[in-house]
Amino acid sequence: MAVSVQSDVARKMDPGPIVTSTGAALGAEVHGVNLKKCDETQFSALRRAWHDHQVLLVRGQTLDDQDLIAFSRRFGDLDWAPVQETGRRFVEGLPEIYIVSNVTINGQPIGSLGAGEAVWHTDMSYLDVPPMASMLYAIEVPLAGGNTSFCSMYAVYDALPDELKRRIANLKIKHDGTYNSGGYLRQGVTATDDPRSSTGAVHPLVCTHPDTGRRMLYLGRRRNAYLVGLELAESEALLDELWNFIERPQFAWEHVWRVGDLVLWDNRCTMHRRDPFEASSRRIMHRTQIKGSAAPV
Give the model's confidence band at 84: pLDDT under 50 very low, under 70 low, under 90 confident, else very high. Answer: low
Which pLDDT belongs to residue 10? Answer: 43
- CATH architecture for the domain at 1-297: 4-Layer Sandwich (3.60)
Q: What whole-number percentage of the chain has pLDDT above 70?
A: 93
Distance CA 292, CA 140 (A): 29
Q: Each residue of 218-254: pLDDT tens digit?
A: 999 999 999 999 999 999 999 999 999 888 999 999 9
pLDDT of residue 133: 98
Mean pLDDT value across residues 274-278: 98
Q: Reply yes or no on whether the pLDDT at 294 is more than 80.
A: yes
Among 180, 99, 84, 181, residue whose Cα is nearest residue 138: 99
Tell me what pLDDT residue 193 has. 85
Do 9 and 49 contact (CB within 8 A), yes or no? no
Instruction: Report residue 11's pLDDT band, with 50, 70 and 90 as the boundaries.
Output: very low
Q: Would you say the C-alpha torsion 95, 135, 247, 230 has a positive or negative sign?
A: positive
